[in-house]
Amino acid sequence: MTERGAVGWTLVRVVFGLTLAFSHGLGKVTGDMSGFAEGVAKLGFPAPMFFAWCAALAEFLGGIAVALGLLTRPAALFAGFTMLVALFRHRADPFGKMELSLLFLTVMVAALIIGGGPFSLDALLRRKKA
């Protein structure tokens, strides 16, 4: 990866990770989870409160981890799966309702493929091990 590519990827990773964490996850983990859990139940998940918390934490903690580039691939896997479910949830809605889920899913899949990149805590920890 060129240095310009690394800077570009870092920008995408940080902006999308922080946006997912603070625009979508934070409100869920600090608010009343019951409404979100009802939506999860309507999707057919067993133990909807448990899976609502899993999704909220995947968005909040996963978004922060992706932004920092810390455990990037596992964090992106959980956040990406959550976005895949959100995309499924909005599959019959107008495109504008599914657009955010699709954008976040795309970035999380990219994070699975690329990892944190050279400007990440993952890379810093790898350099310290070596």
Q: What is the pLDDT along the chain (130 residues), one digit of tens a residue?
A: 899 999 999 999 999 999 999 999 999 999 999 999 999 999 999 999 999 999 999 999 999 999 999 999 999 999 999 999 999 988 888 888 899 999 999 999 999 999 999 999 999 999 888 6
- The pTM (predicted TM-score) of the whole model is 0.92
User: Which residues have a Cβ under 8 Å from the Cβ of 58 and sit 6 or more positions away?
Assistant: 25, 78, 79, 81, 82
In this structure, the number of other CB atoms found within 10 A of the CB of residue 20 comes to: 27
* Of the candidates 121, 130, 125, 128, the residue with the CA atom closest to the CA atom of residue 10: 121
